Amino acid sequence: MKIGFIGLGIMGAPMAGHLLAGGHEVVSSIHKTSAAKELLDAGLTVVDNAKAVAAAAEIIIVMVPDTPQVEAVLFGANGVAEGLSAGKLVIDMSSISPIETKVFAEQIKAKGCGYLDAPVSGGEVGAKAASLTIMVGGGQADFDRATPVFELMGKNITLVGDNGVGQTTKVANQIVVALTIEAVGEALVFASKAGADPAKVRQALMGGLAQSRILEVHGERMIKRTFNPGFRIELHQKDLNLALQGAKALGVSLPNTANTQELFNSCAAHGDQVLDHSGMVTALERMANHKVAKD
């Protein structure tokens, strides 16, 4: 297939690379990216703008940071919508507002095209390993059409409901991830300040009920002080804002999500919003006046 891919960042670049490796022709409008040379060497075609991407491709994938960027890519000047013709499929793999997603889907579908919201979980590691979890909202026929493409980028691929439900699922995922990072951070700060070796504590916990992917990956980051992203704190802040805004609209209380967002806010106030989200532990360390391990 000829696939358009808009957003060749930390996540998007390796995802597009897997599509090229899978034998698809990939078209993008992004000229400058750290992965540009590697992707160009693999056969990436570059065109002038998102409109040209949509005109050239059967399936158009969008992978950008937030709701305003998705809206601009889809409906701005020289955007995707201007290059669409009936029968094409737009897939938004960004993590954005479920409410706005439904609006975007209706506008694209009014042009005779399909629309899937398909946010991912797994971070840079999952993107590079083609092991992402992909949470999809949309129709069955569109999902079936996109599944071979998804399978080149991820492992756990689920159609969870109609348009918007994929994004709702991603928000739920980000609540779980944030609260688990916070729990692992608290545990390691506590153990370290009590005099225990945090690396050995983590190793012991990995064999019990506390075992988790967060403890495995981000617990190690906290101990080794490797806070290069990954998935930036500022992006997780954005996702928790979506959770808290949605909760307000639904009349639901998310007390621990709110508390965890305040820890991210503390990190951002210290200029650490560009750290990996495992860097949340630094806010806990400031309160304890103790680091899990030496830098």
- Candidates 92, 89, 180, 74; CA nearest to 134 is 92
Handedness of CA 202, 207, 208, 211 (dihedral sign): positive
Residues 288 and 193: beta-carbon distance below 8 Å: yes
Read off the DSSP letter of residue 48: S
d(CA 15, CA 19) in angstroms, rounded, equals 7
Structure tokens at 120: 């991912």
102 an active-site residue? no
Q: Is the dihedral of CA 149, 125, 71, 33 positive or negative?
A: negative
Which uninterrupted H or E stretch holds 115?
A: strand 114-117
| Residues 215, 208 contacting (CB under 8 angstroms) | no
> Which entry of 51, 88, 102, 170 is annotated as an active-site residue?
170
Q: Please state, in angstroms and rounded to a whole number, the distance separating the CA atoms of residues 15 and 112.
A: 27
Beta pairing, strands 89-92 & 59-62? parallel
Phi-psi region of 103 (alpha: psi -120 to 50; beta: other; left: phi over 0): alpha
Q: How many CB atoms lie within 10 A of CB 294?
A: 6
Active site residues: 170
